[in-house]
Amino acid sequence: MTAAVDTGAPRHFHSATTGDLPALLASDPGTGLSTAEAAARLARTGPNSLPTAAHTSLPVRIARQIHNPLIYVLLAAGAVTAALGEYVDSSVILGVVLINAVIGLVQESKAEAELAGLRSMVRTEARVVRDGRERTVPSAALVPGDLVKLEAGDKVPADLRLTHATALRIDESALTGESEPVGKHVEALPADLPVADRRNMAYSGTLVTAGSATGLVCATGTDTELGAIHRLIGAAETLATPLTEKLAGFSRMLTVGILALAAVTFAVGLLRGHDAVAMFTAAIALAVGAIPEGLPAAVTVTLAIGVARMARRRAVIRHLPTVETLGSTTVICTDKTGTLTQNQMTVQAVWTPRAWYAVTGAGYSPEGTVRDAAGAVAGTDRDHALHWTLLTGTLCNDASLTSHDGTWDVAGDPTEGAMIVAAAKAGLETDALRARWPRQATLTFNSERQFMATLHRDDRDGATVVLVKGALERLLERCSLQMDADGTTRPLDSRTVTGAAAELADQGLRVLATALRPHGNGSQSVERLDDDALGSGLVLTGLQAMLDPPRTAAAAAVAACRTAGIAVKMITGDHAATATAIARDVGLLDSRNADAVMTGADLAALPDDELPEAAQRTSVFARVSPEQKLRLVAALQSRGHVVAMTGDGVNDAPALRQAGIGVAMGAGGTDVAKEAADMVLTDDDFATIEAAVEEGRGVFDNLTKFITWTLPTNLGEGLVILAAIMFGAALPILPGQILWINMTTAVALGLMLAFEPKEPGIMTRRPRKPGQPLFTRALILRTALVSVLLVAGAWWLFDWELAHGADLAQARTAAVNVFVTVQACYLFSCRTLTGSAWRIGAFTNPWILLGVAVQAAGQLALTYTPAMNTVFDTAPIGADVWLRILAIAAATSLVVALEKRLTMGAATNPARRR
Ligand SMILES: Nc1ncnc2c1ncn2[C@@H]1O[C@H](COP(=O)(O)OP(=O)(O)OP(=O)(O)O)[C@@H](O)[C@H]1O
């Protein structure tokens, strides 16, 4: 097949009949494309992906950097000084603008690249038929003509014309904004229908919420409908978070205030008879010095570094604000299977109405035996119920076993894999059985239904049978009989069955019950299978109990969360006894909250107003439906909790959206859940959530550290000029010099705090209160103290030097170096919010040392190179001056350390106290 497919063809596939499609798309609706043809088409069409956001053109990006009130002021100042013939001043100012824009640009691009890189970490795959065989390929490898299979939970990987659809419903909100899922069919439709009404198409990026389907790809990448929207809006990745917005607001307010102050200063200076040009540049320097222009960039960079750190620990952030929210998480609601446990299932025991059996062997290797109570190998011919429970386990099953180099694994659901293995250990071969009992219909498993049923026809005599497996409670509702060893049936003894299940579940085993409905043949055979047709009167055949060991890191992670003041709650679909046993194993339940277990039935019986209290008190919720998860999140939130909630199924999406942090499973979860989540765990491990919370706290700490460093230094810079003008003194630091200090220290010193590693006790404090103000009383106090110390130190040395024979340029150079040295020392104090800077290892953040070294080199250049001396009006100073500078820096550090010690008390850091 080599026919070219015009991917840019008019979008008319919905008006074609399914019979026309093979010719239109040069494909085969039965066997799909050949691998070679798919590769050839891929070379022509390019990958099935949308370009990433980094496509804003360079001029636009530069313009975005300059679009800032402060920069406008600087540009105006540069123009005015140039007009007045002050070329050195004007080039310093314009140089500052340029450097600022370049730094902003680089930082923003890095942060964007970080976010774009994350997207590729969550793999998207598609099930496609090629060469007549079903396989999984990366979605990017799809080409027009590919035959794609869809089922509930999938994200549609390309635009498809449906060829088969069973009860298919698709959430097209990504495309149409309509959140109600729409039903789909395969019939041809009139050509002029709008996209939203083309019910025989499945569009890329939309989500399958129910049913299953197959379809032929008719557009990929930017040719899809989603691609068209993407082209229109340019899909820029947003870097804004509530915190960055708050800070931007704060910066704007501050800018206006400081500009007003600068205007007053200018006026006062003029009234005092100072030179207008000098006053103008002084006023500008005051503004530039006092406005913390590095703040937004530092916040973005810190968040981006946090996102990268989290990704390295296998938590992929989908929305940037989540990084902030993580730090204030107070409750983590986690499911059990796969998150707290390994999802490595092994059937260990089988119960039938007549006998108990033990199953030997470990993992998914089919080596092992089924043994009776006496230890003898059990034959399925002696206990019909054993035969049927194992047969049901393997036929009512969508998984299969795979073997690579002698290691066995499951393709599909581990629970189902374990049941295939158990049957194999008793000599029941899945492939042979599936050939003899071909499946006619399926009632798929989902967390709401909690069971699965399949209808089979015996190839030998045409007799049909319905096989059911699932949660015992659900099966008991439908069973009235149980099977004896000889295959006959008796009335169900539900007390004995429930007792047996409880005994197994108490050991932490996951128990699945099996049942069947014989239908006989001829007129009695059924062709239909739905919840109604299944009816009641089923025959219970047995129980299979499987071990799913807790993850090794789970207990430590649960303990770490508790120490950090975060409550951990298990919300599982599994049986209460199994859930309780696992909860004990991982330390979720102990003597203090031993009875904190509720079931979905308990929740259903609880009035809404009692739910928040119960949700807060209880640690384990068993047999919970996805809809109840949503109620639980809302209840916890009503108590002011910040809730992180895990989920993997289609039905979990609403709860994930409702939660402060929706957490989806990267390996085991559906696309629908990932789409609704804020964070995706690539390893599905509970310990990863704890790691992400820890990183989230680290990010917030580093932001606080930057703010604690930048505010006092900025204020000091503004204050020194303000004071000089107000007191009519000679400026101890010139406007150009202020610009130098401001621009170099923000980048070389302040920004390095973003790389600060987490402090040791980070997971021993309480969660940060959401909405807690950034600017606490303690921070304001600290700002005042440090800025006054800065101004006092610089001014004192300036005066002292002048009094002892230095000229103005030398005295100013000394003052500038005091400023920078004190800022560098204060930087080390800001490395820890909770204790003495001395306790932090000097080498734990090499960036700080590098930054200080760069800044020192800059200061030496500023002080000793003739060119810099000319531009910045500086002059070389002697070693004795440096000693005085270091003495001032040491003295101010001592005062700050004292203040820190005095105010530390019960609270932990300046930004945290009110
Ligand atoms: N593939 C399956 N077929 C039939 N029944 C199943 C299957 N998987 C699970 N069940 C039954 O449905 C119940 C609920 O399953 P669900 O997947 O909602 O939660 P879970 O896997 O037990 O736990 P968690 O919610 O912690 O992941 C299980 O306890 C089991 O009895």
pLDDT tens figures, 772-822: 777 778 888 888 999 999 999 999 999 999 999 989 999 999 999 999 999
Buried b (16+ CB within 10 A) or exposed e, 521-555: eeeeebeebeeeebeeebbbbbbbbbbbebbebbb
Fold (topology level) of 241-310+695-904? Calcium-transporting ATPase, transmembrane domain (1.20.1110)
Which residue in this structure is represented by tokens 């049941």?
419
Q: Ligand 1: distance of its center to the CA of 665 in Å?
A: 16
pLDDT in tens, 442-463: 888 888 889 999 999 988 888 8
More confident residue, 905 or 576: 576
In terms of average pLDDT, the best of 4-8, 189-193, 352-356 is 352-356
Q: Which CATH code for domain 13-52+123-233? A: 2.70.150.10
Q: Within 10 Å of residue 335's Cβ, how many Cβ atoms? A: 28
Mean pLDDT score of the chain, rounded to an integer?
86
Q: At what angle do helices 846-864 and 735-748 cross, to 10 degrees?
A: 160
Q: Helix H segments across 508-647?
A: 531-534, 554-563, 576-585, 600-605, 611-617, 626-638
Q: Which atom of ligand 1 lies nearest, measured to the CA of 398?
A: 1
Q: Which of 477, 512, 575 to mutate to test the pocket of ligand 1 (most atoms within 8 A of CB)?
A: 512
Of the listed ranges 82-86, 496-500, 769-773, the least confidently predicted one is: 769-773
Q: Is 372 in the pocket of ligand 1 (CB under 6 A)?
A: no
Predicted pLDDT at 524: 45
pLDDT band with cut points at 50, 70 and 90 for residue 99? confident
Q: Whose CA is nearest to atom 17 of ligand 1?
A: 447
Query: Does ligand 1 lie within 6 Å of residue 333's CB atom?
Result: no
Q: Residue 771 to residues 243, 246, 378, 662, 768: CA-CA distances in angstroms?
A: 9, 10, 64, 19, 9
447 CA distance to ligand 1 middle (Å): 6
Q: How confident is the model at residue 115 (pLDDT cuts 50, 70, 90)?
A: low
Predicted confidence (pLDDT) at residue 7 exceeds the cutoff of 70: no
Q: 347-547, what's its fold?
A: Calcium-transporting ATPase, cytoplasmic domain N (3.40.1110)
What atom of ligand 1 comes closest to residue 472's alpha carbon? Answer: 31
Ligand 1: atom nearest CA of 471 is: 31
**Residue 414 CB–ligand 1 contact under 6 Å:** no
pLDDT of residue 823: 94
Q: Which residue has the higher pLDDT, 914 or 567?
A: 567
Lowest-pLDDT range of 556-560, 578-582, 723-727: 723-727
Q: What's the predicted TM-score (pTM) here?
A: 0.80
Average pLDDT over residues 898-906: 73
DSSP E strands in 576-728: the ranges are 597-599, 620-622, 643-647, 661-665, 679-681
pLDDT band for 595, please (50, 70, 90 cuts): low
652 C-alpha to ligand 1 centroid (Å) = 14
Average pLDDT over residues 363-389: 90
The better pLDDT of the pair 680, 51 is held by: 680
Which of 345, 443, 551, 574, when mutated, tests ligand 1's pocket best, judged by the most ligand atoms within 8 Å of its CB?
Answer: 574
In this prediction, residue 594 carries a pLDDT of 60
Question: What is the rounded CA–CA span in Å between residue 200 and residue 675?
Answer: 23
Q: State the pLDDT at residue 456.
A: 93
Which residue has the CA at smallest separation from atom 22 of ligand 1? 574
What pLDDT score does 117 carry?
67
Kindly report the protein residue whose alpha carbon is nearest to atom 10 of ligand 1: 470
pLDDT, mean of residues 453-482: 93
Average pLDDT over residues 726-732: 80
**Residue 445: half-sphere exposure toward Cβ, Cα within 13 Å:** 21
Instruction: State yes or no: pLDDT of 684 exceeds 50.
Output: yes
Assign 230 a pLDDT band (cuts: 50, 70, 90).
low
Out of 223, 335, 574, 652, which one is annotated catalytic? Answer: 335
- Compute the distance from residue 370 Cα to the ligand 1 centre, in Å: 24
Active site residue 28: no
% of residues, the chain, pLDDT over 70? 91
Q: Using an 8 Å Cβ cutoff, are 150 and 169 in contact?
A: no
Q: Is the CB of 447 under 6 A from ligand 1?
A: yes
Question: For residues 241 and 235, what is the distance between their CA atoms, to the nearest angstrom?
Answer: 17
What does the alpha-carbon distance between residue 295 and residue 298 come to, in Å, rounded to a whole number?
5
Higher local confidence (pLDDT), 217 or 191: 217
Query: Is the beta carbon of 831 within 6 A of some atom in ligand 1?
Result: no
CA of 651 from ligand 1 middle (Å) equals 13
| 105 pLDDT more than 70 | yes
Task: Return the best residue to mutate from 333, 336, 337, 396 for the ligand 1 pocket (most ligand atoms within 8 A of CB).
Answer: 337
Percent of the chain past pLDDT 90, that is, above it, reads 44
Which range of 262-276, 476-490, 714-728 scores highest in mean pLDDT? It is 476-490
Task: Name residue, tokens 């700002």.
Answer: 783
CA–CA dist 877, 817 (Å, integer)? 10
Distance between CA atoms of 425 and 432, rounded to whole angstroms?
A: 15
- Distance from Cα 511 to the centre of ligand 1, integer Å: 9
Kindly report, as residue ranges, where domains of CATH 3.40.50.1000 are found in the chain.
315-340+551-684
Say yes or no to pLDDT of 522 above 50.
no
The segment(s) of the chain belonging to CATH 1.20.1110.10 are 241-310+695-904
| CATH T-level assignment (fold) for domain 315-340+551-684 | Rossmann fold (3.40.50)
Q: Report how far Cα 85 is from the mean position of its chain's Cα atoms.
A: 55
pLDDT band with cut points at 50, 70 and 90 for residue 342: very high
* Residue 869, phi then psi, degrees to nearest 5: -55, -40
pLDDT-derived band at 907 (thresholds 50, 70, 90) equals: very low
Distance 174 CA to ligand 1 centre (A): 30
Is the CB of 469 inside a 6 Å radius of any atom of ligand 1? Answer: yes
Whether 593 has a pLDDT exceeding 90, the answer reads no
CA distance 391 to 433: 8
Residue 913: per-residue pLDDT: 40
Of 190-204, 608-622, 715-729, where does the model show the most confidence?
Answer: 608-622
Q: Where in the chain is the domain with CATH 2.70.150.10?
A: 13-52+123-233
Q: How confident is the model at residue 467 (pLDDT cuts 50, 70, 90)?
A: very high
- CB 887: neighbour CB atoms within 10 A? 12
Per-residue confidence (pLDDT) for residue 101, from 0 to 100: 79
Closest CA relative to residue 542, chosen from 353, 379, 345: 353
Mean pLDDT of the region 96-125: 72
Residues of the chain with CATH 3.40.1110.10: 347-547
**Atom of ligand 1 at shortest distance to CA of 416?**
1
Q: Give me the mean pLDDT over the 59-87 stretch.
A: 78
